[in-house]
Amino acid sequence: MIEDRGKKGKTMVDKGQIFVEMKAENFDLIRLSTYRTACKLRFVQKTCNLHLVDVWNMIEAFRDNGLNTLDHSTELSPSRLETIVSSIYYQLNKRLPTTYQIDVKQSISLLLNFLVAAHESEDHGNLTVFSMKVMLAIMCGGKIVDKLRYIFSQISHTNGAMTISKFDLFLREVLKLPSAVCEGPSFGYSEHLGRSCFPQQKKVMLNAFLDTMMADPPPQCLVWLPLMHRIANVENVLHPVSCSYCRSESMLGFRYRCKQCFNYQLCQTCFWRGHASGNHSNQHQMKEHSSWKSSAKKISRAISKSFGCVPSREPPHPVFPEDPERPLDLSNIVPPRPVLNNVNVSVSPTAGSPTAIQRVPGIAAAQRMNEEHSLIAAYVNKLQTSPRALDSPSRLDEEHRLIARYTARLAADPGNTMSPQLSFDSNKQQRQLIAELENKNREILQEIQRLRVEHEQACQPTPEKAYQNPTLLAELRQLRQRKDELEQRMSSLQESRRELMVQLEGLMSLLKAQAAGFPQTPPSHGASRPVPVPVRSAGSTPTGFPSPHLPQDSLAGVGGDVQEAFAHGARRNLRNDLLVAADSITDTMSSLVKELHTD
């Protein structure tokens, strides 16, 4: 009970969410009911992500969920309705790129609540199959001519003419959409509304239906339908013209030009809300523009039109064949009772044929099979030549009937078309063929096993193959080369270290001579050579000198004073003095380098 209340509360919140967001858009400020209704339904379409679902994808979803096999008056339970809507959005996410995925759960909740709200505005029962088809076909994306063609297929008879009672039912269902967005008073349903749309026509075919629905203007009760599609087409159209009221530099969407005031143009927001300035009045006639054409294009089009290069008026829709594509009549393929082969068929002598014909066993069956194959080939050719036939709601039913009758013929023919002797010979040949195929199958399995064993043996690495592998040999050569380079680098570092220690020994002797009172002339600029700066490493002391724990062979060629200073012993004062002297030598050498640069 608590879970049901929680679910009901969540549904109510989601139900009110779409209407709260729609109210925040201030669509009620639009003064014309037609534009107000079209804008509200376009907002619902985009909020529910229905503008991403094409009408052909919607028809495919109806077929996949089995709605084509149900009667139009069949009621859909809430669980069945949720299953259908879920399949629509999950299939949509499969078609969209991964970076543009939609929130499926939120879209399902919003659409379900809107459909229920639209249905409850007029009725109090469950949604029917026809009601759901009409609402989703109108609210999804795609061309209006494709939507109207699908609607006509649902309300027309098998002879291709529209049924006025079904068109009345279509108007009742489609006008629930304006009522759901609080526009019922402007676009409500009345009893004689269907007949008023086609007052002079007794038999309405597809082209006449499209002419009426896509006329300018269309029937008053459906004037918002083509406008909603025009709004969707001009949402991203930019007009590089300033609005005469709000003074915006460019217009996005529709552009309205006054036929009385010179060069007076309004953006769609100002026109929809009834703004006017100067001598312009809301009573003036305005022309709606959905695109921008430069002056050069206008002049060229006028010249082409004057020479007859451009037709004066394009048809609102392509002309479709009046006769509908009839489904295949497969009732005459399988006879009601088996037909024997060895029968005498009498033919009238007036037809110029013999009086009796003895049929050869198997010829009648071959003829019937050829008829089956020709029907299948004709159906496949129809699917290839007519792309729209793939999306026909009755395609699967035709294919199922064709397959069922073909299998029934295959099941009925063998016992009736073959004599016992022919049947025995055929069985013997089949057994021989099966035996040969079994022998070939065993040989193939043995060959597969042998190849698998050879492959496993080839994949096992051996030392001999490893040394014969050119890739491994190349890697070994690279490793040896790298080892030689590292050894050369170590030897050069040891040599540099030994030279540093020798220089340090010379500096120490110089210090001792200065301390004894015998000053020596510093070396000349030309004979001096720079003392390399020691590099700090992990094995060096903070002053940059090598650690005293280094092996003795690393100090080979260095005077005894240096070795004695860095050896383990009791003379620690000499080492400290040496470090202090090294700091002073560093300062002296830096000043010497500055003087050299100055000279």
| Burial class of residue 380 in the structure, from the number of CB atoms within 10 Å of its CB (0-12 exposed, 13-18 middle, 19+ buried) | exposed
Q: Please, are residues 519 and 526 in contact by the beta-carbon 8 Å criterion?
A: no
Q: What is this structure's pTM?
A: 0.52
Provide the 8-state DSSP code for 281.
Answer: -
pLDDT band, very low/low/confident/very high, at 489 (cuts 50, 70, 90): confident
d(CA 60, CA 65) in angstroms, rounded, equals 9
- Has residue 248 got a pLDDT over 90? no
- Render pLDDT for 198-216 as a digit per residue (tens, 0 to 9): 877 778 888 889 988 888 8
Of 12-26, 32-46, 291-305, 486-500, which one has max mean pLDDT?
A: 32-46
Nearest residue to 546 (alpha-carbon basis) of 587, 501, 483, 598: 501
Token pair recorded at residue 203: 């038999």
Q: Is the dihedral of CA 219, 224, 228, 233 positive or negative?
A: positive
Q: What is the mean pLDDT of residues 277-306?
A: 75
Provide the 8-state DSSP code for 222.
Answer: G
The distance of Cα 365 from the centroid of its chain, to the nearest Å, equals 50
What DSSP letter does each residue of 330-390 carry, written as one string?
-TTTS-SS---SS-EEE--GGGTS-SEEEPPTTHHHHHHHHHHHHHHHHHHHHHHH-GGGG
d(CA 452, CA 446) in angstroms, rounded, equals 10
d(CA 354, CA 364) in angstroms, rounded, equals 18
Q: Which residues of 304-316 are buried (b: 16+ CB within 10 A; e: fewer)?
A: eeeeeeeeeeeee
Q: What pLDDT is recorded for position 597?
A: 66
Find the range with the poorest average confidence among 119-123, 469-473, 546-550, 582-586: 546-550
- Render pLDDT for 65-74 as a digit per residue (tens, 0 to 9): 999 889 998 9
| Burial class of residue 67 in the structure, from the number of CB atoms within 10 Å of its CB (0-12 exposed, 13-18 middle, 19+ buried) | buried
Token pair recorded at residue 174: 């489609």
pLDDT band, very low/low/confident/very high, at 328 (cuts 50, 70, 90): low
Q: Please, are residues 398 and 328 in contact by the beta-carbon 8 Å criterion?
A: yes
Q: Please, are residues 273 and 30 in contact by the beta-carbon 8 Å criterion?
A: yes
- Which position has the higher pLDDT, 446 or 396? 446
Q: What pLDDT is recorded for position 455?
A: 83
d(CA 376, CA 374) in angstroms, rounded, equals 5
pLDDT band, very low/low/confident/very high, at 589 (cuts 50, 70, 90): confident
